[in-house]
Amino acid sequence: MTKIDWYILKKFMSTFFFTVLIFTMITVIIDFSEKVEKFIESDITRSEIIFGYFPNFIIFIYGLLFPLFTLISVVFFTSRLANNSEILSVFNAGVSFQRLLRPYMIGAVFIAIIHAVGSHYLIPEGTKTRLALEYKYFDPNRDQGKQRNIHMFLGPETKAYVNFWRKRDSTIRGFRLERFAEHELVYLLKASSAEWLGAPDRWRLVNYEIRTFDGLQETLINGQGEQMDTTLNLQPADFIDYKDQQEMMTTAELNRYIQRQRSRGVGNTAKYEAELWRRTAEPVTVIILTLIGVAIAARKVRGGLGIHLAVGILLGALFVIFSRFASVFAAGQALPVAISVWLPNVFFGAVAILLIVKAQK
């Protein structure tokens, strides 16, 4: 690391964190102005707003816009270096364009590591707290989980039916469990009600009836007026479906959830898999957008900083739009989830390579 490396790296980090600070203030002011009536009308406390909602909202914004912050920062300070002929002086000293990229890559990798740690662990925990406050005080009916006539798989050949799920006390009215072997019904359990007893997956069945089938032979256990404690591959969380539920899970929780759903024979886990891949892809996005920003802003042009910022913001907007289309493809399973999530990085990675090659000439 030479003096010029430390100089560029210092400019990179200071501009990046200044950009983060400015955008944080703007987003907090906008969000507060939108929610001030809800804060006043709801029962949320001042401490929950100051120490619970807004810190986690800021963390969420960081996770959402870190790549864009990086691009704007690189374009801004590199364009100023170019306009002051500092980049030209570096080239005249015999430094190649590839060598100039070293401090940029060090800064980009540092930011990417912060973003990766935050995306996998810190941001989901903060999102969980923030959304819990929103669901409790602002939008209690945001749960999209069904309450009536629910069909679900508890295993590859085990199917459950719930006539009515009562959320407030975690009880079921009208429960049926069916097990199949080679496409034939071999076990049937019915209960007028079921009560959640707690982990690990413990339930109490009331007024139950169990039928087992072996060919033409049938065995009946009549438990009318009786109770039976048992374990089922079923939890109250299985009846909850928030739109942003995948964002509230850490990577470890996401992996466990996806594996559990797959073991139950449930294949609709696209949005959870997309979230998992996104958390790995976005730190790479930081590096790609850094390369694009340097290639755009290192050349001194007429219009200077304004032109560079306009082009940088345009590319950032295109990347955001492309990423949203990729998320739609992933959720709709029009393409494999991994390909859909990584497609923007592949496309803009190619753009970055072309811009770098052109910049070196």
pLDDT tens per residue across span 230-239: 988 888 877 7
Return d(Cα 279, Cα 120) in angstroms, integer.
Answer: 6
Compute the mean pLDDT over every residue in the chain, rounded to the nearest whole number: 84
Q: Look at 172 and 167; give whichever has higher pLDDT.
A: 172
DSSP, res 298: S
pLDDT (0 to 100) of residue 145: 63
Element (H, E) at 317: helix 304-332
Return d(Cα 17, Cα 157) in angstroms, integer.
Answer: 53
Q: Look at 334 and 339; give whichever has higher pLDDT.
A: 339
**Residue 304 is encoded by which pair of tokens?**
């200077």
Burial class (CB in 10 A: 0-12, 13-18, 19+), 141: exposed
- pTM for this predicted structure: 0.79
pLDDT (0 to 100) of residue 203: 92
Give the pLDDT mean for 310-336.
73
Where exactly are the structural domains of the chain? 3-140+269-360, 148-236
pLDDT beyond 70 at 360: no
Confidence of residue 251 (pLDDT cuts 50, 70, 90): very high
What is the percent of the chain with per-residue pLDDT over 70, rounded to a whole number?
91
Residue 33: count other Cβ atoms within 10 Å of its Cβ. Answer: 9
**Residue 25 is encoded by which pair of tokens?**
């203030």
What is the percent of the chain with per-residue pLDDT over 90, rounded to a whole number?
23
pLDDT beyond 60 at 303: no
pLDDT (0 to 100) of residue 143: 61
- pLDDT tens, residue by residue, 95-150: 787 888 889 999 999 999 999 999 999 999 999 899 888 888 887 666 666 678 88
**3-state secondary structure string across 41-105:** HCCCCHHHHHHHHHHHHHHHHHHHHHHHHHHHHHHHHHHHHHHCCHHHHHHHCCCCHHHHHHHHH
Burial class (CB in 10 A: 0-12, 13-18, 19+), 12: buried
